[in-house]
Structure 1
Amino acid sequence: MIVSLIALSIMQVEPASVGDYSFLSLFMMSDWVIKAVMLILVLASVWSWVVAVDKFIMITLLKRRATDFEDTFWSGRTLDELSAALGNDARDPMARVFAAAMREYNEGSGTQRIGSTNAKHERIDSVMNLVINRELAKAEKGLPVLGTVASISVFIGLFGTVWGIMNSFRAIAASESTNLAVVAPGIAEALFATALGLIAAIPAKIFYDMYLTDIDKYGGRLEGYADELSAILGRKLNAGG
């Protein structure tokens, strides 16, 4: 139907009757519904890009700091030396896992009994898992924004598309003409709303999938380190510290 209207109108329109259909002009000539749709989509797109840049910086720093900490951890220093050198400066999630495990390990070491070794080892594992879950929750903060923008922007744009086409039919009914100058504004609004919906949704979906994968890999890296640290502390506990 829309294609037929456009084809019929092209045969009837004079070149001079085609107006200015720049993005700004389309926004200014739109009714309040289309303007609201366009503003929502633009804001959603900007918001998703802000979150995406923030996540890129965060994930890059997490990977770099994890590599630096692993190099330090496997440098041959003892756990006590590493703990003393780390102090309260645990900016990296992996360092916070180490600090939490060492605090639990050192708690009551002087009065430890053989029968409590397994229980203490389990407490160390539990503490590390709690820290890992908390750190991953922090890392995932903001991802729901990308997921939401990716899922609803297309539908918001589709609503604008339908509304723009309805405006075109209203214009045809009011003017009793299918001239391109009559139907073009509504169709242009509809297509512009569709484009904005795709512009907002596609990058958000790409970033969401990419960062979710990166965080899953980083979570596996944290869990792998926690398993290695747990094995080391378990051997120390079984050897009596």
Structure 2
Amino acid sequence: MDPASLPMAQDVDFSVLALFARATITVKLVMFMLILASFWSWAIIIQKHIGFRRVRAESEAFDRAFWSGEPLDELFEQIGPDPSGASERIFAAGMTEWRRSHRDDGDLIPGAPARIDRSMDVAIAKQADKLNRGIGFLATVGSTAPFIGLFGTVWGIKNAFEQIAAAQNTNLAVVAPGIAEALIATALGLLAAIPAVIFYNKLSADSDRIVGGYESFADEFATILSRQLDS
């Protein structure tokens, strides 16, 4: 560096807030979008983490009640036709269809097992939709945030070179602030994208495991009802 420009470089504030304040309106909008996307992603991550933990606890409690040996009709009377828990809703859907499939004389309407399976499948699909709601946003942030940040960086560097040309001075004290401002956008893009990708993969895997548990329970419940039909 030119010794004469050293005091100029030392006087420049390179803090994040100062770099943001000196950035152009386009780069500021990019930074704001990335910050907003990051906060939104973390809100989804925290909400899903709490929600999945609650769902697992509800499933474990219902499994204990279901396999306790209590008659299924009594268990259904306790939880009602519209319970709050996901596993209970799947059970209630099967039991409701089971009761609707009985004629007044006690015989079953033909095709009852298929209708019970479909009722539980619909309930599982609804619960899976609730579990996955919002997770897609994490995938969007993870795939687009780096490119949005890169756009802000390219735009900021373009303006930095324009300022260099206008000042007709290429020493580091003139070049560094503009480049630093531009690179902040890329850093924010990565800061938003990396956690979004990591937790998208984790939450998707957790959701698949929970839904798999619902499907296993539905199969076991259908098997129990099938035994009763055969007997």
TM over 0.5: yes
**RMSD over aligned Cα, in angstroms?**
1.5
Structure 2 counterpart of 1:65: 58
Structure 1 counterpart of 2:31: 38
Q: 1:177/1:106 Cα in 2 relative to 1: closer, same or farther (>3 Å)?
A: same
Structure 2 counterpart of 1:85: 78
Structure 1 counterpart of 2:123: 131
Structure 1 counterpart of 2:171: 179
Contact 2:24/2:156 (CA < 8 Å) preserved in 1?
no
Structure 1 counterpart of 2:13: 20
Structure 2 counterpart of 1:7: none
Secondary structure class of the residue paired with 1:76:
coil
Secondary structure class of the residue paired with 1:14:
helix
Aligned-partner residue type, residue 6 of structure 2? P
Contact 1:13/1:179 (CA < 8 Å) preserved in 2?
no
Q: Which blocks of at least 5 consecutive residues in structure 1 are unaligned?
A: 1-9
Runs of 4+ in structure 1 deviating by more than 6 angstroms, as ranges, are none
Q: 1:114/1:98 Cα in 2 relative to 1: closer, same or farther (>3 Å)?
A: closer
Q: Identity of aligned pairs, percent?
A: 44
- Deviation string 1:142-190 (CA, Å, 9 cap, x unpaired) is 0111111111100000001111211221122111111112111221012
Aligned-partner residue type, residue 131 of structure 1? A
Match of 1:214 among 201, 206, 209: 206
Contact 1:146/1:204 (CA < 8 Å) preserved in 2?
yes
Q: What TM-score comes out, normalization by structure 1 length? A: 0.90
CA distance in 1, matches of 2:180, 2:61: 54
Structure 1 residue 98: Cα displacement: 0.4
Structure 1 residue 238: Cα displacement: 2.1
- Deviation string 1:97-133 (CA, Å, 9 cap, x unpaired) is 00010011011424454672xx100000000001000
CA distance in 1, matches of 2:21, 2:109: 77
Q: What TM-score comes out, normalization by structure 2 length? A: 0.94
Aligned-partner residue type, residue 46 of structure 1? F
Aligned-partner residue type, residue 226 of structure 1? A
